[in-house]
Amino acid sequence: GKVAGKHTVVFFSAAVSATMQRQARLESDLRRALARGEFRLLYQPQVELRTGALTGVEALLRWQHPELGWIAPQDFIPVAEESGLIVPLGAWILQEACRQGARWRAQRGVHPLRVAVNVSALQFGHADFVGVVLRALQTSGLPPELLTLEITESVVIGDLGAVTERIAELKRLGVRLSLDDFGTGYSSLAYLRHLPIDEVKIDKVFLPPLSAPDTSHDTTRARDAAEDRAMVQAIVSLAHALELEVVAEGVEDAAQLAFLRDTGCDGAQGYLFGPPVAAAAVPATRPPPWLP
């Protein structure tokens, strides 16, 4: 009735205003966080499936808020984008990741690690983005081929021609480009063909746990799993036909790993190989024990 409706409205606006207050707080705190050194990058191993070698890491951002504790990137990156703060924050991320990449290169000699950095659409579209990448490479001394920029399909929301030209400019610097979260957004297979990228990352939503033996009579779940596997196989074969490398994320168990190796997927990342960790905790050069 009307009363319930009224109460619902009151409750709803209170919730909305709490959310807006939190947003406003996060935004003003974000402004100070960079200067106060509250951000950190963690690095998650990426493995070459053919050999089991550790070939790279993905840099993942963390914010330690002085009162709220660790805040997940999903909770503050949208705020950083709306406020434009993603531009200086993104420049810091690139500097920091390249500096660490150059350190690993000095330590590891012939077995350097590639470093993958997530780039938000707003950051990618900023007028000076190519300059920011160039300066991060120059000041760190990281060879450009060891830097991978992970972009999502959301960068293409604007002008496809302009985006293609920007990617081509970045390719001329010598960096690698990866299309992240593939298949989850406003996907167009045409992007794979027309964007001058090097790699596709299959999002973890296509990789549900496979280890539990499927003895259940839950036919819906069995069919969903079969469809997910078909998606992964289709993405891998399409990417290979277009001479792109494929990396699967969210690999958590041995059955998923076996499936990906059978599929011919090139690389993998996930808790099976290791969670995101501080730079000092990234495993050493030797091929780790997870593959025969």
Q: Which of 177, 276, 279, 282 binds ligand C2E (CB under 6 A)?
A: 276
Tell me the C-alpha distance between 27 and 252, whole Å.
34
Q: Can residue 270 be called a binding residue for ligand C2E (CB under 6 A)?
A: yes
Q: What residues form DSSP beta bridges with 69?
A: 65
Considering only residues 17 to 56 of the shown chain, the ones binding ligand C2E according to CB under 6 A are: 44
d(CA 178, CA 242): 14
At 148, list the tokens: 């991978």
User: Quick check: 199 binds ligand C2E (CB under 6 A)?
Assistant: no
Cα-Cα-Cα-Cα torsion 194, 198, 203, 206, nearest 10 degrees, comes to: 80
**Residues 71-110: x/- map of binding to Ca ion (CB under 5 A)?**
----------------------------------------
Q: Which of helix, strand or coil describes residue 289?
A: coil
Q: Tell me: does residue 136 bind ligand C2E (CB under 6 A).
A: no
CB of residue 8 to ligand C2E, shortest distance in Å: 32
Contact 26, 6 (CB under 8 A): no
The interface region with ligand C2E, picked from 8-16, 185-193, 270-278, 282-290 by CB under 6 A, is 270-278
Cβ atoms of 183 and 206 closer than 8 Å: yes
Binding mask 50-89 for ligand C2E (x = CB under 6 A): ---------xxx----------xxx--x------------
Give 29 or 203: the residue with its C-beta nearer to Ca ion.
203
The distance of closest approach from Cβ of residue 249 to ligand C2E in the complex, given in angstroms and rounded to an integer, is 6
Write down the residue that tokens 């990617």 correspond to.
167
- Residue from the set 29, 96, 180, 266 that interacts with Ca ion by CB under 5 A: 180
Pairing type for strands 39-48 and 54-65 reads antiparallel
Contact between 173 and 130 under an 8 Å Cβ cutoff? The reply is yes
- Selected binder of ligand C2E within 96, 181, 199, 266 (CB under 6 A): 181
Going by C-beta distance under 8 Å and a sequence separation of 6 or more, which residues neighbour residue 118? 58, 59, 60, 61, 93, 150, 180
Q: Give the interface with ligand C2E as residue ranges (CB under 6 A).
A: 44, 59-61, 72-74, 77, 93, 118-120, 180-181, 204, 249-252, 270-271, 276
